[in-house]
Structure 1
Amino acid sequence: MAKQQPVPQLRTAGGIRYELTRKRVKNLNIRVREDGTVAVSIPLRTSAEAADRFVAARAAWVQQAQARARRRSLQDARPLPDKETALAHFTAMSDKVYPAFAGVLGGQKPTIKVRSMTSRWGVCHMAKRQITFALQLYNQPEAAQIYVVVHEYCHFLQPNHSPAFWAEVAKLLPDWKARRNLLK
């Protein structure tokens, strides 16, 4: 016998329209989907009114997440360039950042690559002296692109995300947090 899926109930609280589903979960959970719709799951014995209070208390966060989802969908709607175009773009951007790292890299520029990535904007392979950028980064604001380039170069100085790493990023980009937020 097939397990019956719970039927979501449409509700509104705090100006937020959402789908409420009762599940075998311990906590109340809220999720803003890629299309901006809101899903809330609650334990089986929790009241719908408790879910309404939960959503209303988080209305500002939900609205921010929906705005991010709208921005992402607009950026995703723009066509991506071919890899050669993106590689030329990120290589030129990298060439501007490289002089600050020439000493630590022994005067040898890292290899720049581009590939489609869904969960990262860039990857630094220190041992290979290689930085790979996400093709999707091309459609992000230029300030955010520069942040990713600097971020990946800083891994040649600090391999992790320790406070020392962020201090290196801040030396070149004092506004790195605002730039990083453009990617969220």
Structure 2
Amino acid sequence: MPGRKPEVTLRTAGGINYEAARRRVKNLNIRVRLDGSVAVSIPLGCSWADADRLVLERREWIERSKAELTARQAKMYRQPLPEKAEALAHFTRMSDEVYPAFAAVLGGQKPTIKVRDMTSRWGVCVPAKRQITFALQLYNMPAAAQIYVVVHEYCHFLVPNHSMAFWAQVERILPDWKARRMLLK
């Protein structure tokens, strides 16, 4: 039924606490959230025991993901964040450098640039609103990584998803995009 909340259960497997939710999905899916909690999506026909088995099988990956998340957050939050106005001016300058490659598709009108505190994304593009929002935290990342995010978001004006066509556009502008993206991890 549309709008119906999934059945959610808190479980433990192999010492790992996780939240299991029955959803309309084809496969069991597991993820480590930004707060370090673990979530498992379970197809409607699977048992809770199937979810426990998945958590046990992926235990090393879960623990490694949690450790990487903690290290990344510690590194990111060690540096003070700039004022939003300073970050906005910075990302607007970067955007102005990238804009000429996209001027034709944007009809000669620059997108609106915004900055906000985001913990799960480096940037968001809303083509319908002709708007790009950058994470305030991106300011503390290396310049090469920042340009990658700017180009990545601009490429969504060409291709709105992350299909092969999208990545081809990113590579056309930044042939070394993979190395730049690694700087964000």
TM-score bin (small chain): 0.5 to 0.7
Matched letter for residue 183 of structure 2 = L
Aligned pairs for 1:145-156 within 5 A = 145-156=146-157
- The CA distance in 1 between the partners of 2:112 and 2:90, in whole Å, is 14
Segments ≥4 residues shifted beyond 3 Å: 19-23, 29-35, 61-69
- The CA distance in 1 between the partners of 2:90 and 2:80, in whole Å, is 15
Q: CA deviation at 1:70?
A: 2.3
User: Partner residue of 2:112?
Assistant: 111
Pairing 1:97–2:79 present: no
Q: CA deviation at 1:33?
A: 8.8
Q: Map Cα deviations across residues 83-110 of structure 1 (whole Å, 9 max, x no partner).
A: 1000000000101101100111111111
| TM-score between both structures, scaled by the size of structure 2 | 0.67
Aligned pairs for 1:150-169 within 5 A = 150-169=151-170
Q: For the structure 1 residues 75 and 170, does the alpha-carbon distance in structure 2 shift closer, same or farther, using more than 3 Å as the test?
A: same
- Runs of 5+ in structure 2 lacking a partner? 1-10, 21-27, 39-48
Q: Percent identity?
A: 60
Q: CA deviation at 1:179?
A: 1.4
Q: Map Cα deviations across residues 96-127 of structure 1 (whole Å, 9 max, x no partner).
A: 10110011111111111111111111111111
User: How many residues get paired?
Assistant: 158
Give SS of 2:165's match.
helix
Aligned pairs for 1:1-184 within 5 A = 20=15, 58=60, 66=67, 69-184=70-185
Q: For the structure 1 residues 163 and 83, does the alpha-carbon distance in structure 2 shift closer, same or farther, using more than 3 Å as the test?
A: same
| TM-score between both structures, scaled by the size of structure 1 | 0.67
8 Å CA contact retained: 2:105, 2:158: yes
User: Partner residue of 1:3?
Assistant: none
Matched letter for residue 78 of structure 1 = Q
Q: CA deviation at 1:72?
A: 3.1
Q: For the structure 1 residues 162 and 81, does the alpha-carbon distance in structure 2 shift closer, same or farther, using more than 3 Å as the test?
A: same
Give SS of 1:72's match.
helix
8 Å CA contact retained: 2:111, 2:131: yes
Matched letter for residue 124 of structure 1 = C
8 Å CA contact retained: 1:32, 1:66: no
- The CA distance in 2 between the partners of 1:133 and 1:160, in whole Å, is 18
- Runs of 5+ in structure 1 lacking a partner? 1-5, 9-18
RMSD across aligned positions (CA): 3.7
Matched letter for residue 136 of structure 1 = Q
